Amino acid sequence: MLNRAKKLEHVHSDIRGPLYTESQRMIKEGISVLRLNTGNPATFGFKMPDSVRNALLNNADKAVGYCDLKGMPEARRAICEYHKSKGIQDITPDDIYIGNGVSELVSMALTALLNDGDEILIPSPSYSLWTNSAYIAGGKPVFYTCDEQSDWFPDIDDMRSKITSRTRAVVIINPNNPTGAVYPKEVLEQIIDLAREHDLIIFSDEIYDRLLMDGVEHISTASLAPDRLVITMNGLSKSHVICGFRCGWMVISGAKGKADDYLEGIFQMAAMRLCSNALTQLVIPAALDDFASTKAMVSPGGRLYEQREATMRELEKIEGISCVKNKAAFYVFPKLDVKKFNITDDKKFAFDLLHEKHIFIVPGSGFDFPTPDHFRIVMLPEPEELAKAVADIGDFLKDYRQ
């Protein structure tokens, strides 16, 4: 028997795990499954912006060789300007690494940081990339609560109570996946204060920073913490709906002086993979200048906005479901009334819904949420299709009991 490595023991993905395998089996049998599991806009007809297409087609010849291991200079200059415009101080293109999506960079940054047993504070609920990368790096994810009663903002007292002598870093996902919450300045400042007090590195995953609705403002954590080592992650997968390009970056700011050795570790990791996909780096300057295509999606009349409205309208009609409206991104994380439905196993709930209504949602446990009463909806299909799907969920719940 050939066993997988022990370090994969706790790695989990309900977005692409057993539910995914079952949905694939059903699709092969000819069943049409509505996949509300991944945040992959292209699968629902979102097209790449012209800015991106033109930059790619006009420059492709420049991407034939390996490029600088940190990324193409022009692309890093554009990224640097973008983050300076968001208030991150004292950065140069040298503080930027471009990667094959944020996914690769998270893994690089945590592998370079964590020794076996080192702890890292991660939000619950949260997108599992951070948790899984921490496990593989030998670290121990410790979850802090994001409080549904307070618009899903991090509970600072809970975060404080989870800090030990082994805690190395805190992860902030803002805007958040799966809650769609956007954190105000006061919340970020309290987290930064804790990081100061306990000498923690801050990782701030801001990949949804442009997908804002209802006039909310996004504040970059690093802009408030020039004295702390902050690693900000961002990319084009979501704002420019080009997940398949695998284009992300990280910006290292703040107290770099004290982190020479760690930063060399990151350099080693980046050097090992030679460079990130060069073709996709060609589009970064044009994409970062193109605010209009993203704005059009999140403004009233735009797809992401109307899809959210349609989803919320239908969710409100379901007895036994409550839901905090997201302010960014394209996810909501509704709550089920456990007493009413007697739900004890959220994976079973997801399997039952998949089998009965052919709708694939991800259960809350897939986001390291501790109770079995939540699930995530990806709001990417057109408004009518989403409205129908949510109505179907309501219909399914009418007599669902575990």
Output 107 or 167, the one with its CB closest to ligand PLP. 107
Does residue 127 bind ligand PLP (CB under 6 A)? yes
Residue type, 352: D
**54 membership: H or E segment, kind and range:** helix 50-59
Does residue 129 bind ligand PLP (CB under 6 A)? yes
Output 102 or 393, the one with its CB closest to ligand PLP. 102
Question: Min. distance of Cβ 355 from ligand PLP in angstroms?
Answer: 26
Buried b (16+ CB within 10 A) or exposed e, 150-180: ebbbbbbeebbebbeeebbbbbbbbbbbbbb
Tell me 370's DSSP state.
Answer: S
Output 39 or 383, the one with its CB closest to ligand PLP. 39
Q: Which two tokens stand for residue 36?
A: 């509300």
Question: Min. distance of Cβ 97 from ligand PLP in angstroms?
Answer: 13
Output 237 or 294, the one with its CB closest to ligand PLP. 237
Q: Which two tokens stand for residue 59?
A: 């420059």
Does residue 103 bind ligand PLP (CB under 6 A)? yes
Question: Min. distance of Cβ 48 from ligand PLP in angstroms?
Answer: 14
Output 126 or 167, the one with its CB closest to ligand PLP. 126
Query: In whole angstroms, what is the distance from residue 108 CA to residue 200 CA?
Result: 18
Q: Which two tokens stand for residue 136?
A: 């593989």
For residue 342, CA distances in Å to 12, 353, 372 come to 25, 15, 10
How many residues bind to ligand PLP according to rule CB under 6 A? 14
Q: Is 275 within 8 Å of 68 (Cβ atoms)?
A: yes
**99 membership: H or E segment, kind and range:** strand 96-99
Output 39 or 363, the one with its CB closest to ligand PLP. 39
Map residues 161-200 to x or -, x wherever contact with ligand PLP holds by CB under 6 A: ------------x---x-----------------------
Does residue 207 bind ligand PLP (CB under 6 A)? yes
Query: Which are the contacts of 312, defined by CB distance < 8 A and separation ≥ 6?
Result: 323, 325, 332
Dmax of the chain from CA atoms? 61
Output 156 or 173, the one with its CB closest to ligand PLP. 173
Which residue has 């994380």 as its token pair?
333
Please select the residue that binds ligand PLP; options are 14, 151, 205, 373, rule is CB under 6 A.
Answer: 205
Please select the residue that binds ligand PLP; options are 49, 235, 363, 372, rule is CB under 6 A.
Answer: 235
Does residue 286 bind ligand PLP (CB under 6 A)? no
Q: For residue 376, give the nearest of 319, 300, 315 by alpha carbon.
A: 315
Strand-pair partners of 212: 328
Does residue 284 bind ligand PLP (CB under 6 A)? no
**329 membership: H or E segment, kind and range:** none
Buried b (16+ CB within 10 A) or exposed e, 248-264: bbbbbbbeeeebeebbe
Q: How many CB atoms lie within 10 A of CB 342?
A: 10
Does residue 102 bind ligand PLP (CB under 6 A)? yes
Output 182 or 243, the one with its CB closest to ligand PLP. 243
Does residue 39 bind ligand PLP (CB under 6 A)? yes
- Using CB under 6 A, which of the segments 5-13, 101-109, 303-311, 355-363 binds ligand PLP? 101-109
Output 243 or 397, the one with its CB closest to ligand PLP. 243
Query: In whole angstroms, what is the distance from residue 199 CA to residue 169 CA?
Result: 8
DSSP string of 86-129, one letter each residue: TT--S--GGGEEEESHHHHHHHHHHHHHPPTT-EEEEEES--TH
Strand-pair partners of 322: 335
Strand-pair partners of 140: 119
Which residue has 């509300």 as its token pair?
36
Does residue 248 bind ligand PLP (CB under 6 A)? yes
Question: Min. distance of Cβ 146 from ligand PLP in angstroms?
Answer: 13
Does residue 13 bind ligand PLP (CB under 6 A)? no
Output 243 or 288, the one with its CB closest to ligand PLP. 243
Does residue 380 bind ligand PLP (CB under 6 A)? no
Question: Min. distance of Cβ 158 from ligand PLP in angstroms?
Answer: 20
Does residue 110 bind ligand PLP (CB under 6 A)? no
Does residue 237 bind ligand PLP (CB under 6 A)? yes
| Interface residue list for ligand PLP (CB under 6 A) | 39, 101-103, 127, 129, 173, 177, 205, 207, 235, 237, 243, 248
